[in-house]
Amino acid sequence: MRTDYPASARLHRPSEYASALKGRRIARGALFVLNTPRQSPVGHTARLGLIIPKRLAARAVTRNTIKRVIREAFRLQRPYLPPRDLVFRLHSKVPDTSLRQLRKLVRAEVDDLLKKVR
């Protein structure tokens, strides 16, 4: 089974993010909130949007690490997800830990949130 992450699997326009954020909240974890629009668009597979604000993750290295981990988890689980837009939004301050520990923390939470989507 093919597990890639093409441009068609991403949210691009602000209107796509706005519709997902106005929609319903699927799940909430210690760090992230997962939102989806009320009506899923027709004719595509699951798409991903990320909102990682600078005020909650001050260092660019931290923000980029979080994004990479979420994209990788999404890429691997995308064939099993329903065809809807998913927006991960960081809602609490990232703890001061090493990047290795942060990767494990984020991956565990993202995997749990994506299980709730199925």
For residue 2, being part of any structural domain is answered with no
* CATH, residue 83: 3.30.230.10
Distance CA 95, CA 102 (A): 8
For residue 1, being part of any structural domain is answered with no
Q: Which domain holds residue 35?
A: 7-117
Which strands, in side-by-side order, build the sheet including 32-36? Answer: 24-28, 32-36, 85-90, 47-51
Q: How many domains does the chain have?
A: 1
pLDDT reading at 77 higher than 80 = yes
Predicted TM-score (pTM) of this structure: 0.90
For residue 20, being part of any structural domain is answered with yes
Among 24, 84, 14, 22, smallest CA distance to 48 is for: 84
What pLDDT score was predicted for residue 86?
Answer: 92
pLDDT per residue over 36-58, tens digit each? 887 766 667 889 999 999 999 99
For residue 82, being part of any structural domain is answered with yes
Q: Is 79 helix (H, G, I), strand (E, B) or coil?
A: helix
